[in-house]
């Protein structure tokens, strides 16, 4: 009897240990627990971390995330109010605010992600469709563009920012407010939503590139025409300055030459007009210089007998 009683006591102890282990569970600091009995939640969510107990073999513990969670939307093509197709990539942050309602409506994070895709994607498309492209791209309505001073007078809309009424931040806030109220019914608190990237549709992007190229070509042609005009002005001024310099130089040279000739003539006159013999000597030397320039072995000179140039030659005796 004692052996049977001892064995029975051991079995009771082992059963008690099994029941204890089956009823005990631990909640981590980053988790919260939902207790279900036959598939239905019972009681309030357990948010306090530590050791807790449940009814073994009847109740089941479901751990639910308590931290902030990430939602990354798929890039989606959508039209703006001005019928420009753009590709919008968004991301957001959310958390489970009501674990019991979340569990009853969605059960797990996969279902929650799907619901977030539907609601946030739909609100994003609605918001983009209600606003112009410039509103979606621009952040603030008070931004002043940095404009090149050389392009101020350029014809067209180069360097001009059109006025906006809201801006990208306000559109993001609009999406947040519309989506947050709908997610509350699922026990989800939306913390934030932002545009990660906004790209043009391929066909629209090609038209944008072509327009940019056309604008740059207009600017280049303007610079070329202005450069050609300035080059013509510089060349004309250079030619005019060269002519003025050459004219002034020629005038100066001729003036100096005339002054030199006059001075030389004056010196000759002063030197050879001192007496009759000096005048005759001057006349003689100048005639000899003329003979030297005119007469050579191949020269033939025909002079009349009364020529001034011949009077010194006719006095030369033959053989001299």
Categorize the per-residue pLDDT at 120 as very low, low, confident or very high, splitting at 50, 70 and 90.
Answer: very high
Among 12-16, 61-65, 154-158, 174-178, name the most confident range. Answer: 174-178
Domain boundary among 183, 200, 217: 200
Tell me how many domains the chain contains: 3
Range in 87-91, 133-137, 246-250 with the lowest mean pLDDT = 133-137
Q: Is 107 a domain residue?
A: yes
- pLDDT of residue 152 exceeding 80, the answer is no
Categorize the per-residue pLDDT at 119 as very low, low, confident or very high, splitting at 50, 70 and 90.
Answer: very high
- pLDDT of residue 35 exceeding 60, the answer is yes
73 and 23 co-located in one domain: no
pLDDT of res. 174: 92
- pLDDT of residue 195 exceeding 60, the answer is yes
pLDDT of res. 6: 64
Categorize the per-residue pLDDT at 38 as very low, low, confident or very high, splitting at 50, 70 and 90.
Answer: confident
CATH number at residue 80: 3.30.479.30
3 state DSSP class of 106: coil
Please give the full DSSP string across 162-177, using - where no structure is assigned: PP-SS-HHHHHHHHHH
Q: DSSP letter for 89, please.
A: E
163 and 227 co-located in one domain: no
* 8 A C-beta contact, residue 171 and residue 81: no
Rounded Cα–Cα distance for residues 297 and 282 (Å): 26
pLDDT of res. 284: 74
Q: Which of 196, 168, 198, 200 is nearest to 85 (CA)?
A: 200
Helix, strand, coil tally for the chain in percent (to 5): 50, 20, 30
pLDDT tens digits for 222-273? 888 888 888 988 988 888 988 989 888 988 888 898 888 888 877 777 776 6
**Cross-strand partners of 64:** 32
| Averaged pLDDT, 41-54 | 83
237 and 195 co-located in one domain: no
Containing structural domain, residue 235: 208-272
- pLDDT of residue 194 exceeding 90, the answer is yes
- pLDDT of residue 304 exceeding 80, the answer is no
Q: Is 158 a domain residue?
A: yes
172 and 76 co-located in one domain: yes
Categorize the per-residue pLDDT at 203 as very low, low, confident or very high, splitting at 50, 70 and 90.
Answer: confident
pLDDT of res. 140: 67
Categorize the per-residue pLDDT at 314 as very low, low, confident or very high, splitting at 50, 70 and 90.
Answer: low
- pLDDT of residue 176 exceeding 80, the answer is yes
234 and 212 co-located in one domain: yes
Could you tell me where the beta strands, DSSP code E, fall in the chain? 24-27, 31-37, 40-46, 50-53, 59-65, 69-72, 76-79, 85-96, 188-200
pLDDT of res. 16: 64
| CA 209 to chain CA mean position, Å | 14
| Averaged pLDDT, 127-143 | 80
Q: Is 278 a domain residue?
A: no
């Amino acid at each position: 009897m004692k052996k049977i009683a001892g064995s029975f006591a051991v079995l009771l102890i082992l059963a008690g240990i099994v029941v204890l282990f089956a009823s005990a569970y631990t909640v981590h600091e980053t988790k919260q627990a939902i207790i279900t009995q036959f598939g239905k939640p019972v009681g309030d969510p357990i948010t306090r971390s530590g050791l807790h107990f449940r009814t073994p073999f009847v109740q089941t513990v479901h751990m639910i995330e308590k931290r902030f969670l990430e939602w990354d939307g798929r890039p989606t093509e959508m039209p703006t109010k001005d019928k420009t197709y753009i590709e919008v990539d968004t991301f957001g942050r959310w958390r489970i605010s009501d674990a019991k309602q979340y569990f009853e409506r969605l059960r797990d994070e996969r279902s929650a992600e799907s619901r977030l895709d539907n609601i946030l994607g739909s609100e994003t498309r609605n918001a983009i469709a209600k606003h112009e492209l410039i509103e979606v791209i621009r952040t603030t309505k008070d931004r002043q563009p940095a404009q090149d001073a050389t392009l101020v007078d350029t014809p067209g809309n180069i360097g001009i920012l059109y006025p906006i009424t809201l801006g990208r931040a306000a559109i993001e806030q609009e999406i947040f407010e519309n989506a947050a109220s709908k997610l509350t019914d699922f026990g989800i608190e939306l913390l934030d939503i932002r545009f990660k990237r906004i790209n043009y549709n391929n066909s629209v992007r090609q038209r944008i590139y072509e327009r940019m190229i056309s604008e740059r070509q207009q600017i280049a042609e303007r610079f070329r025409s202005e450069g050609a005009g300035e080059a013509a002005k510089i060349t004309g001024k250079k030619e005019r300055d060269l002519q003025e310099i050459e004219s002034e130089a020629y005038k100066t040279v001729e003036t100096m030459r005339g002054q030199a000739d006059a001075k030389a003539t004056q010196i000759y006159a002063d030197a050879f007009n001192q007496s009759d013999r000096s005048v005759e000597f001057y006349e003689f030397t100048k005639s000899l210089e003329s003979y030297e320039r005119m007469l050579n072995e191949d020269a033939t000179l025909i002079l009349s007998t009364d020529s001034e140039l011949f009077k010194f030659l006719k006095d030369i005796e033959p053989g001299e």
